[in-house]
Amino acid sequence: MVVIGEHRHTQVHVDLQAIKHNINEEMTRKDPLTELWAVVKANGYGHGIIQVAQAAKQAGATGFCVAVLDEALALRQAGITAPILVLGIVEPEFAAVIAEHDISVAVGSTDWLAQAAAVLAANQVAQPLHVHVALDTGMGRIGFQTPAELADAVNVLRAANSPFDFEGIFTHFATADQADDTYFMHQLSNWKALIAVVDELPRYVHVSNSATSLWHQACNGNVIRFGVALYGLNPSGTELSAPYHLQPALSLTAELAFVKKLARGKSISYGATYTAAQDEWIGTVPIGYADGYERRLQGFHVLVDGQVCEIVGRVCMDQLMVRLPKAYPVGTKVTLVGTDGDQTISLQDVADYCGTIHYEIACGLATRLPRVYTDGESD
């Protein structure tokens, strides 16, 4: 059972209109014949898989990408009938489930094809299993690495009475979000050498994640896997500027649960790592590392009444403390990600302080945090 903190004033807010804005911006740039598939894996990068998928579909997405089979099944159960591609390797023992739910999967070995074919035969599955052949051009995760291996796989897929639908072929670039394109061009060369052995390319040919489409648009195949940019986050962090405004969809707020005056010389939280240098007003905020708000954020800040307030003492599992400029009533809004007055804290700001990327911060926000959705078209 998943427990959500509905009776605590700590929430993730998701602006579905921002999702639509980001898709609309990409739709105006791309070739009209190129499809946009929304990447909604990892619970929509922490934003909510079903709600994001529905908003993306409204904005023009014609397909979806996920990481594990259960995410694809959740989309099907929600009534989504568009193509869904599982980008990770699914165990061949689930081949019948994949085919019966009209889901597409990534394949990186002929052994997988042989095992999946046996499962389909044993279960007398009539529907073909949709396959996207993964090519490892330099990412080093999954996929065929040599022309000979790829040629063998294509022969298996196109053999008489094959139980497979050779629907797509793809790769993933490791450095598309970097200013130095040396390795990107190396991968692109490998991609071209590999696909040269495929006499007739399948329906879907795709290499572009968000970064590739933003900064290497000429490489787009006929599908863009629109991932982190969908959520208004720059794939490169701060290294490259996006060609259009990316509107962040996520904010994170709480309320002051307790306010007290702390006397000079008294300490706060585990390890007593913070000691008040003078009498101070301290507010307790009901969020902690169990919610995905990192313990290492001690010394970072939140916004209260538009004021920057430092996090003092170690972040606890469920609570943290901030130094306030004055006494505020319990229930005063606290912004941990988002804008208050003329101050803004972005996911990038949080990530920079933690020495990581905004992907990790967004994906790490726990399911205990309720997601609250707004949509400018209907609100």
Sign of the alpha-carbon dihedral angle for 26, 31, 37, 42: negative
Compute the chain's Rg from CA coordinates: 24
Kindly list the domain boundaries of the chain, sorted by start residue: 16-231, 250-345
Pairing label, strands 267-268, 274-275: antiparallel
Q: Is 293 helix (H, G, I), strand (E, B) or coil?
A: coil
Q: What is the three-state SS of 51-97?
A: HHHHHHHHHCCCEEEECCHHHHHHHHHCCCCCCEEECCCCCHHHHHH
Instruction: Tell me the average pLDDT across 202-217.
Output: 97
**Taking all residues of the chain, what is their mean pLDDT, rounded to a whole number?**
97
Instruction: Tell me the average pLDDT across 23-38.
Output: 96
Of the candidate CATH numbers 3.40.50.10480, 3.90.1150.30, 3.20.20.10, 3.40.50.12280, the domain formed by 16-231 belongs to 3.20.20.10
> Strands, DSSP E only, in the chain?
11-15, 35-39, 63-66, 84-86, 104-107, 129-134, 164-170, 204-206, 223-226, 250-255, 258-262, 267-268, 274-275, 280-285, 301-304, 307-310, 320-324, 333-340, 343-345, 371-374
Q: What percent of the chain has pLDDT over 90?
A: 98
Residue range 31-45, pLDDT digits in tens: 999 999 999 999 999
Distance CA 113, CA 175 (A): 30
Check pLDDT > 50 for residue 278: yes
In this prediction, residue 1 carries a pLDDT of 86
Q: Is 141 annotated as a binding residue?
A: yes
Residue range 293-309, pLDDT digits in tens: 999 999 999 999 999 99
- pLDDT band of residue 378 (cuts 50, 70, 90) is very low
Q: Is 8 annotated as a binding residue?
A: no
Check pLDDT > 60 for residue 162: yes
- pLDDT band of residue 379 (cuts 50, 70, 90) is very low
Distance CA 219, CA 198 (A): 18
In this prediction, residue 228 carries a pLDDT of 98
Instruction: Tell me the average pLDDT across 203-207.
Output: 97
CATH class of the domain defined by 250-345: mainly beta
| Residues in contact with 379: Cβ distance below 8 Å, sequence separation at least 6, in sequence order | none
Q: Which of 73, 90, 192 is nearest to 137 (CA)?
A: 192
Residue range 116-160, pLDDT digits in tens: 999 999 999 999 999 999 999 999 999 999 999 999 999 999 999
Contact (Cβ atoms closer than 8 angstroms) between residue 144 and residue 152: no
Residue 93's CB is within 10 A of a number of other CB atoms, namely 11
Instruction: Tell me the average pLDDT across 345-356.
Output: 98
Residue 249's CB is within 10 A of a number of other CB atoms, namely 28
Give the residue numbers annotated as catalytic, written as ranges: 41, 270
Check pLDDT > 80 for residue 376: no
What is the per-residue DSSP string for 183-213? HHHHHHHHHHHHHTT-SS--SEEE-B-HHHH
Distance CA 285, CA 201 (A): 55
Check pLDDT > 70 for residue 237: yes
pTM of the model: 0.95
